[in-house]
Amino acid sequence: MKLLRYAPKGLRIGLVAFTIVSSAAALSIAVPTGAGAAGSATGFSQPYAGTPKYEKWTPTQAGNIRQVNRPLGQKAADRIARKLGLDKQLVFTPEQYELFIRGEGVDGDPASAALIDESVRIFTNTTGNPLHADVNGTVTPFVLASYGLMVSTSGVLMSLANEDAPTRKVNPLIAPGGYVDTWCKKNGCEQSLAMLHRSAYQSEIIFAIASQQLPQSEPAQLVPNVKSGGRNTIVGMSMAPSIWIINFTLLYVLNPTVAAQMPGWWTPIPPDVAEAIAASPHGQVPYGDFESSFPGVIAQQ
């Protein structure tokens, strides 16, 4: 499945909406439990919340319409990167990045690079970076990253972690020993890769895996949020703190400019949309049936 892509040329950069699915056994660590336990101050429970000391650096809920789908911006991205253990001096060089995203370099693969590029466009689908899909016969722009949702070329709305989403299909490329690891090792990016594995990325992997493997996660791949006072909302899996950190650290190591385009706030999915996705046998609904539930997503451009 591919998206109709009309994003600005400057956005032909990036890694992926790394909504990780992998084998917990391969990581040789215990899977955290307690998904139904009381949530943290942010309202997310485990394993969605991830490592407590890093959770405060993840997006908070949008407080007004102007924050919906707004990107982090470079200043905030650089600050968060430092808090998560990343050094901007050790990320990919511009030359390494260009080789990587074109599928060039030693053992580069254009097909893998194309899937990675497509995925990052979805994850950075924030204000100023609309994507387009055919909705009821009309090429329609959409901006939905802070909801953790995307739309396919055929106009199907789903979580970024849905099994049919490019951002889920890309997982084998970033699994240990996958394309990204091997490319880095063969193209002089070992220092960047080592930094990534020393960062918050390492402690968040198991939480991210556990989040997606919960029985209640399939097929919708939505995450509950419960604030004090019992205010319940739902957001797409990619905006859960543990998975957001995985995505952010990976994108930042590749290109800090890309990471700065990630959503800076998460936004609850409208209740009618969340209910429909959860009730669907495949976690997918026609975007045309619910487009009006997302007011202002293009008007903010």
Work out the pLDDT band at 7, boundaries 50, 70, 90: very low
Q: Examine residue 114 and state whether it is found in any structural domain, yes or no.
A: yes
- Which single residue is written with the structure tokens 């975007």? 287
Q: How far apart are CA 28 and CA 206, in angstroms?
A: 10
**Is 91 part of any domain?**
yes
State residue 199's pLDDT score.
96
Q: What is the pLDDT of residue 281?
A: 96
Q: Is residue 29 part of a domain?
A: no
- Residues of the chain above pLDDT 70, percent: 84
What pLDDT is recorded for position 39? 54
Number of structural domains (the chain) is 1
Q: Is residue 233 part of a domain?
A: yes
Separation of first and last alpha carbons in the chain: 26
DSSP 154: T
pLDDT digits (tens, 9 = 90+) for 243-286: 999 999 999 999 999 999 999 999 999 999 999 999 999 999 99
Tens digits of per-residue pLDDT, 117-171? 899 999 999 999 999 999 999 999 999 999 999 999 899 999 999 999 999 998 8
- Measured torsion, CA atoms of residues 140, 161, 36, 59, in degrees rounded to the nearest 10: -60
**Residue 100 forms beta bridges with which residues?**
none
pLDDT averaged over every residue in the chain: 85
In a domain, 195, yes or no: yes
Give the Å distances, CA to CA, from 65 to 95, 197, 267, 294. Answer: 38, 36, 10, 11
Give residue 79's pLDDT: 98
The predicted pLDDT at position 297 comes to 57
Confidence check: pLDDT of 38 > 60: no
Determine contact, residues 148/48, Cβ cutoff 8 Å: no
In a domain, residue 31? The reply is no
| CB atoms closer than 10 angstroms to residue 154 | 12
The reported pLDDT for the residue numbered 10 is 36
The alpha carbon dihedral of 267, 86, 252, 168 has a sign of negative
Alpha carbons 186 and 271: distance in angstroms, whole number: 47
238 occurs within a structural domain: yes
Question: What was the pLDDT predicted at 55?
Answer: 95
**195-218: per-residue pLDDT in tens?**
999 999 999 988 998 998 898 888
103 assigned to some structural domain:
yes
State the pTM of this model.
0.86
Determine the length of the chain: 301
Domain that holds residue 246: 41-293
**Among the listed ranges 33-42, 81-90, 130-139, which one has the minimum average pLDDT value?**
33-42
